[in-house]
Amino acid sequence: KQEVTQIPAALSVPEGENLVLNCSFTDSAIYNLQWFRQDPGKGLTSLLLIQSSQREQTSGRLNASLDKSSGRSTLYIAASQPGDSATYLCAVGPLKAAGNKLTFGGGTRVLVKP
């Protein structure tokens, strides 16, 4: 059974510092990996989706890498801003399953201090 872990559970950094968020998964037979952002009491917003054949994806200040063989993904957020404060979740899509059954990590809660 796939297990997804995100460590640390919480992270606090001063404004301007780069953020590094980690995601690890136990089964490397994945179809893709996604990073989501969740603001308190809100739904999830998709940030980046990496297909299993890709090594990384970039969008603005965000860059996500994927190392399938070692079961790891990293989300980098450059030059953090207070508006980046949120919980970030990663989710893994299975290689063989009907219905796009994502497995989520527990999330990393980020606080960017002005």
Partner 1 sequence: DGGITQSPKYLFRKEGQNVTLSCEQNLNHDAMYWYRQDPGQGLRLIYYSQIVNDFQKGDIAEGYSVSREKKESFPLTVTSAQKNPTAFYLCASSPRPSTDTQYFGPGTRLTVL
Residues in the site for partner 1, rule: CB under 8 A? 4, 6, 9, 31-32, 34, 36, 41-46, 49, 89, 91, 93, 98-102, 104-107
C-alpha distance from residue 87 to each of 70, 75, 105 (Å): 24, 12, 11
**Residues 110 and 21 sit within 8 Å (Cβ to Cβ):** yes
| Nearest to partner 1 of 36, 110 (CB atom) | 36
Q: How far is the CB of 66 from partner 1 (least distance, A)?
A: 14
| Nearest to partner 1 of 80, 87 (CB atom) | 87
